[in-house]
């Protein structure tokens, strides 16, 4: 990145993530993101102050939230003169909001900013039937009570059927889980290794809570002080008993235990120039070094829907002059255990690295003891747009605890996209 100056991660704050239909079932995106933002402001002594800009997004958004970020600013403790804009890149949204603010800080256009993301699978927008919508719009534009009544007389019983959002790719009609199951079969990723990764995610998240890692990264919300999906007793033996939910026959290796749950939650990250952080006497956790987004042709090509990070990470490494093994921490979003395992396999595969990445040697292996050391989405949950902010804040704090080091972030997203980043201290 052609930075003119370094971009500091000063802090992060999120609300505990909840399972869909759970304690946040009646909370809106605005409620959750405002709570995460107000917690961040309070912790950093910024209530009532203006920051340069607030960027945020949600994957599932009601039409009333056309500029969700701005509405959240107006309902929060931030100075209402803080400008705000929305971002949408499916599960990459949270990190893309960080990119949006970070690049402006790097270029000297902003001194500080907050990035955020939120999603509610409980409060997903349900659309009116297209025909009914057209009739209602016609009625709205019609002149006089007679004209409106005439327009409304076009309503038919079949118009009552609503459009319920599906967790599926519009181009294929397949759910993310079905796509991931096909990729897992292609890479011969088995059930046992997926369950092992899932069990480890829960154990590591439980340990991180025990040692107070999240004490200054989480604000309790609506009676929840820990991620609701966390099962400290989740073992490979228990996970092995679950029935498969995605894939068929021998390909059916994915279960509710090794897939992320549908979730509700919000996260925020405070970014700034070093000068701004110093001026406000706020310690810097870590610095954002670079970002690369990628996309794959999963529609007409033969690449897996969630495999974009397998391409974006090598590009990021090349730009940074790094090899895969040169990081102290790896944060890979666990959309599904199989997604992480397929990506790791691809990087070790000579044919994939030669044919798809144009490399003479495989990208290599990474030390799984340094991968998602405090657990990740399988245990934490995955409110789509909130995951990026959670990961950036977790990694920045890990680096701050270590005193120095470098971390690599990889997040897959719907639409065949992905986003990656390097964070250092
Ligand atoms: C969106 C992007 O851009 C990119 C991405 O990230 S892609 C990923 C997007 N996310 C998804 O697609 C979400 C996928 N998940 C789902 O659709 C659903 O969570 C699911 C179909 C996998 C499961 O739904 P469900 O059946 O309602 O789950 P749930 O009832 O909680 O669990 C089923 C059983 O497993 C058990 N279970 C779940 N996790 C467990 C664990 N870790 N240990 C032990 N048991 C567990 C539950 O206790 C439950 O058991 P009972 O039936 O005995 O009560």
3-state DSSP of 255-305: ECCCECCEEEEEEEEEEEEHHHHHHCCCCCCEEEEEEEEEECCCCCCCCCC
Helix (H) or strand (E) holding 410, with range, is strand 406-413
Provide the pLDDT for residue 3: 54
Give residue-wise pLDDT tens across range 310-354.
999 999 999 999 999 999 999 999 999 999 999 999 999 999 999
Instruction: For residue 177, give the ligand 1 atom closest to its CA.
Output: 12
Provide the pLDDT for residue 159: 84
* Cα-to-centroid distance, 257 and ligand 1 (Å): 6
How many Cα atoms sit within 13 Å of 110 on the Cβ side?
27
Q: Quote the DSSP letter at residue 11.
A: E
Q: Please name the residue that has the structure tokens 């955020």.
A: 116
* Cα-to-centroid distance, 224 and ligand 1 (Å): 20
120 lines ligand 1 (CB under 6 A): no
CB-CB contact of 383 with 118 (8 Å): yes
236 lines ligand 1 (CB under 6 A): no
Compute the average pLDDT of residues 58-64: 92
Active site residues: 91, 382, 412
Q: Which residue's alpha carbon is at the smallest distance from atom 32 of ligand 1?
A: 256
Mutate to test the pocket of ligand 1, among 256, 293, 418 (most ligand atoms within 8 A of CB): 256
List the structure tokens of 160. 């009552």
Domain borders along the chain are 127-163, 176-211+289-424
- The topology under which CATH files domain 176-211+289-424 is Peroxisomal Thiolase; Chain A, domain 1 (3.40.47)
Compute the average pLDDT of residues 244-255: 93
Give residue-wise pLDDT tens across range 256-286.
999 999 999 999 999 999 999 999 999 999 9
Percent of the chain with pLDDT over 70: 99
ipTM exceeding the 0.90 mark: yes
CB-CB contact of 28 with 123 (8 Å): yes
List the structure tokens of 316. 């990021």
126-130, 199-203, 323-327: least confidently modelled range? 126-130
- Integer Cα distance of 358 and 192 in angstroms: 31
Provide the pLDDT for residue 20: 97
Q: Which residue's alpha carbon is at the smallest distance from atom 6 of ligand 1?
A: 335
């Amino acid at each position: 990145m052609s930075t003119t100056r370094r971009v500091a991660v000063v802090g992060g704050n999120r609300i505990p993530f909840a399972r869909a239909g759970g304690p946040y079932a009646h909370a809106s995106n605005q409620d959750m993101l405002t709570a995460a933002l107000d917690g961040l402001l309070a912790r950093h002594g910024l209530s009532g102050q203006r920051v340069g800009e607030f960027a945020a997004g949600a994957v599932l958004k009601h039409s009333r939230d056309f500029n969700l970020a701005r509405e959240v600013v107006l309902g929060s403790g931030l100075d209402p003169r803080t400008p705000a804009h929305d971002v949408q890149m499916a599960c990459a949204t949270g990190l893309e909001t960080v990119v949006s603010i970070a690049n402006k800080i790097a270029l000297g256009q902003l001194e500080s900013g907050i990035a955020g993301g939120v999603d509610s699978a409980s409060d997903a927008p349900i659309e009116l039937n297209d025909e009914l919508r057209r009739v209602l719009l016609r009625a709205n534009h019609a002149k006089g009570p007679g004209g409106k009544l005439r327009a409304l007389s076009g309503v038919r019983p079949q118009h009552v059927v609503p459009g319920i959002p599906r967790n599926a790719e519009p181009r294929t009609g397949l759910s993310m889980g079905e796509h991931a199951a096909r990729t897992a079969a292609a890479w011969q990723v088995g059930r046992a290794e997926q369950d092992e990764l899932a069990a480890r995610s829960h154990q590591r998240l439980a340990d991180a809570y025990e040692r107070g890692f999240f004490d200054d990264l989480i604000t309790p919300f609506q009676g929840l002080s820990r991620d609701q999906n966390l099962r400290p007793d989740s073992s490979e033996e228990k996970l092995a008993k679950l029935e498969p939910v995605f894939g068929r026959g021998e390909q059916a290796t994915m279960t509710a235990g090794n897939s992320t749950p549908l979730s509700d939650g919000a996260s925020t990250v405070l970014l700034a120039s070093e000068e701004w952080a110093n001026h406000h006497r706020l310690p810097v956790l870590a610095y954002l070094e670079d970002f690369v987004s990628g996309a794959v042709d999963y529609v007409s090509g033969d690449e897996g829907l969630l495999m974009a990070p397998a391409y974006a990470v090598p590009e990021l490494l090349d730009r940074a002059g790094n090899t895969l093994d040169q990081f102290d921490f790896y944060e890979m979003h666990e959309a599904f255990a199989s997604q992480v395992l397929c990506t790791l396999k691809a990087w070790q595969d000579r044919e994939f690295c030669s044919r798809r990445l144009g490399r003479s040697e495989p990208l290599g292996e990474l030390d799984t003891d340094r991968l998602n050391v405090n657990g990740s989405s399988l245990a934490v949950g995955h409110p789509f747009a909130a995951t990026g902010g959670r990961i950036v804040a977790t990694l920045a704090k890990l680096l701050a605890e270590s005193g120095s080091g470098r971390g690599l972030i990889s997040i897959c997203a719907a639409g065949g996209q992905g986003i990656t980043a390097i964070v250092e201290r």
